[in-house]
Amino acid sequence: MVRIGVVSDTHLRSFNQLPQELIRALGKVDLIVHAGDIVTMDVIQGLQTLAPVHGVCGNMDLPEVRNSLPQNLLLELEGKKIGIVHGSGGPAGLESRVLQLFPGADVVIFGHSHIAANDTSNGVLLFNPGRANESYGLLEVGETISGRIVRAYY
């Protein structure tokens, strides 16, 4: 079983600006996924001191992030396919748009809307951790996949 800490929409220029509660939680996972709007690579570099990081760029990221991270990423863990994308456009229809990007995926992790989601559509877990200063997500991937949104009140 792999425990994944999922964040999105940090919108920060420095890792040190992340809430301490979030840093402590991410220090207890096997892997961190960042679903974009990171802003600077300092945030990714700081997260890498806690656990291995996989991330995608978002629409608010500086060129250093957009040049370093892909827009879409597909991981395979424990035999499960996990699609990662930031997302784009308005909130209406966002889940169906990101779902279409990863046919055959077991999970699609996304951000952009700042609205946490832990929903299933046609057997696919659609997982948005929300904005990092308000919530983050925990995924457990093994024979099955389970997700939990942690509402944070820093």
Alpha carbons 3 and 31: distance in angstroms, whole number: 7
Average pLDDT, the chain: 95
DSSP 12: B
7: closest CA among 134, 92, 97, 126? 134
What pLDDT, on a 0 to 100 scale, did the predictor assign at position 90? 87
In DSSP terms, which residues pair with 128 in a beta bridge?
117
| Torsional sign, CA 34, 3, 76, 100 | negative
What pLDDT, on a 0 to 100 scale, did the predictor assign at position 142? 96
What pLDDT, on a 0 to 100 scale, did the predictor assign at position 153? 61
Alpha carbons 62 and 107: distance in angstroms, whole number: 27
* 92 — pLDDT class (breaks 50, 70, 90): confident
List domains and CATH numbers for the chain: 2-151 (3.60.21.10)
Question: Which residues touch 62 (CB under 8 Å, ≥6 apart)?
Answer: 39, 40
Burial class (CB in 10 A: 0-12, 13-18, 19+), 145: buried
pLDDT above 90: percentage of residues in the chain: 94
Using one digit for the tens of pLDDT, what is the confidence trace for 110-138? 999 999 999 999 999 999 999 999 999 99
* 154 — pLDDT class (breaks 50, 70, 90): low
Burial class (CB in 10 A: 0-12, 13-18, 19+), 144: exposed
Helix (H) or strand (E) holding 108: strand 107-109
Q: What is the pTM for the complete model shown? A: 0.95
What pLDDT, on a 0 to 100 scale, did the predictor assign at position 87? 95
Pairing of strands 31-34, 53-55: parallel
Using one digit for the tens of pLDDT, what is the confidence trace for 33-80? 999 999 999 999 999 999 999 999 999 999 999 999 999 999 999 999
